[in-house]
Each structure stands twice: as C-alpha cells, then as structure tokens.
Amino acid sequence: MVPFQALQAYGLKVDAVCPGKKGGEYCKTAVHDFTGHQTYTELPGHNFVLTATFEEVESKNYDILVIPGGRAPEYLSVNDSVIEFIKGFAALNRPIASICHGQLILAAAGILAGKKCTAYPAVKPAMVAAGGHWLDPNPISACFTDGNLITGAAWPGHPEFLKLSLEALGAKISNADKKVLFICGDFMEDYEVMVPFQALQGLGYMVDAVCPDKRAGDKCPTAVHDFEGAQTYSEKPGHNFALTADFETVQADAYDALIIPGGRSPEYLALNEKVLDLVKAFSKSNKPIASICHGQQILAAAGVLKGKRCTAYPAIKPQVTNAGGEWLDPNPISKCFTDGSLVTGAAWPAHPEFISQLMHLLGTEVTF
C-alpha cells in the first residue's frame, strides 16, 4: 500500500494486478513485523483492491514494475504467466523495483544474473543461486540500484525504495526541504500513519512522529481498520510504529506542517491539553494541518474547525458540525478537501489526494 498510494500522490497512474483475479477483486494482505522472535510475525492485514485484470495488461503500457514482498512471491514465482510478464518487462529495459520476498520472482525469471541486489535476508540463498551478487541490507532499510533494478529488504526501506524509484523514472522534485510532525497514539490506524509518513520521507522530507508520554524509539501499536461488509469498519492488530522524537520537547515553530492520523487514538488524544495546545500553535501560525478519518476529533476538541469546510470519517460528522465545521460529504470515500491551510480526508483510501494536497500547500512538486 505504501508504494501504491505514494506513487499516485506523486502524480503517477498506478495499476495493481493478480493472476486469476480481475479488477475490483481483492487480495488479502499480511502484517509482517519484527517483535523479537527469530523471524517476523504474521497477522491478517487489509484487503487490497486490484485495479486491473492481469490477463489484460501489457508491459509496454507501463514505465516501472513494482513487486511487493510477503508470502505471495513464493507461489507467484511458479506461475508461468507471471514469469513471462517479468521477462517481457525486463526486455523493455525499464525499471523494476522489488522488495523483501519479491526477489523470489526475479530469481525464477532469471534476471538477477550479475546484478548487485538485496532482499529479505532469508532470500539470500535463492538470489545467489540465481547468479545475483548479494548486498547485505544493513540496516534493514537499505536499498540498492544496479542499472534498472531496484531492490530493498523490507518495509522499513520504503522511503529509500520510493526515492530510488523516482530517480529511475527521471523525476525532478522541487521544494522538498520540509519538516513535518505526526501526532501519534496507541491504536492509530496502521495505513494512516505509515503511508503518509514514508511517502513524505521518500520525497526527502524530514518527518518526526511523537506521542504523549512516550519517547523517541518507543513504539505505538496500530490498528488495521477495513471495510468488510459490516455496518462499520472491522479492526485487527497492525504493525508497531516506532516514534522518532520526544513529545515533551517538540515545538510547532520547528515544523512546516502537522499530520494527524485516524484510528482509535484520536478519541483519547483529544482529552490531552498538551496535544490540543500543539494543534492550536500550528493553527495560530497558519501552518498546514492535514488530518484524516477520526483525526478530526482532535481538531474539533482544539476548536480549530470553526468556519472550515472539511470532511472526516462519516461517523464523526456530528463532532465536526458541533465544533463549527462546514461538513463536506466524502463521496467517494477517497475524496479529500483543502480549505486554507487545512487538509481533511475520510479514510485511508484517500491517501493519494491527502498527500498530494499537503504537498501542494507546502509547494512541493514532482515532475517527470
């Protein structure tokens, strides 16, 4: 989801396909995390909606191919149609960006011979056997480029993975010397913190994440909120998100913008006077504030929505209107709105607009 939504926010048209499935169908995802065991843990993740049908796409119509990791590459690497597609794309001499276990597909396609590359460390034997020149991913966020091949080891490497992908596409990034602060809390929504956090880092932004009563290096558990046919969203455990700074020492004047993720954390963060004072400081300075989903509960409590045209997760509408906000219906759920220095969105499907509208307020532009 991070590269998928980030590349859209940067201005690219992005498709996602899966053998045997059509556009509009979904793939289940897995939450892989590092929690102190000898290997990663796995929990059920979001359902990822495909945008096109595998049998109908042609490699010549795309400028870059991205291969995510997880457990899918194991079985995709023995799918003849996938292997032929990979070989065809490689023959075009266009960028291929693969991360984590995705390189199992590249190894099966025979395109790693002589290439300097990395992957999740357990994939090393398969890559070496396929003729790849192994580069140790130390730290785990390390990514490498060799010609048109970009490889990374795991999701902490997304910022560098995105940066190298943009370079491979010949992108020019202007006015990206920005500092952005995230206000985090336990059980914020997984995507709603990770996607904008890593997408902005991929542009070169300096990004900090803080949480009351926690310090840099501490972690916040996140929640996977998804739409699975019930009358409201479902919840599953997400990744553990590492904070980068101490809440007690941050000052609004050190940052260019503020981002507030949704999830369940905003309902209790809205009771914290120090959080509200920090939000008020950004608002008073007329610095951009971007808030999504339930994050607007904090804005309502801080009294900064009065007279603002804005949206939120639909169930938050009464809180927004009672705080003086002018409600804008998020139809579709991916719709975001900007009013002055305020950007609001309804849920994580809106990330491409959410990120791009904040980029616009900060004067950042990506051109190809």
Token digits for 177? 């010397």
Q: Which two tokens stand for residue 266?
A: 């905003």
Q: Which residues contact 13 (CB under 8 A, 6 or more apart)?
A: none
Residues 6+ apart with CB under 8 A from 8: 14, 352
Q: CA-CA distances (angstroms) from residue 234 to 47, 50, 230, 311, 345?
A: 11, 20, 8, 21, 19
> If you search the block for the tokens 């509200």, which residue do you land on?
276
C-alpha 366: how far from chain center: 17
Q: Residue 107 is encoded by which pair of tokens? A: 């190894």
Q: Using omega within 30 degrees of 0 as the cis cutoff, is the peptide bond preceding 221 cis?
A: no
Active site residue 32: no
C-alpha–C-alpha distance, residues 20 and 50, integer Å: 11
Q: Tokens for 153?
A: 């080891």
Which among 18, 184, 211, 293 is annotated as catalytic? 293
Single out the catalytic residue among 18, 32, 100, 220: 100
DSSP state at residue 73: H
Dist CA 295 CA 274 (whole Å): 16
The question of whether 100 is a catalytic residue gets the answer yes
Neighbours of 90 (CB within 10 A): 18
Q: How far apart are CA 197 and CA 222, in angstroms?
A: 14
- Given the residues 46, 294, 336, 351, the one annotated as active site: 294
Q: Which of 32, 46, 101, 239 is catalytic?
A: 101
Strands 41-49 and 26-33: antiparallel
| Burial grade of 257 (CB within 10 A; 0-12, 13-18, 19 or more) | buried
Active site residues per annotation: 100-101, 293-294
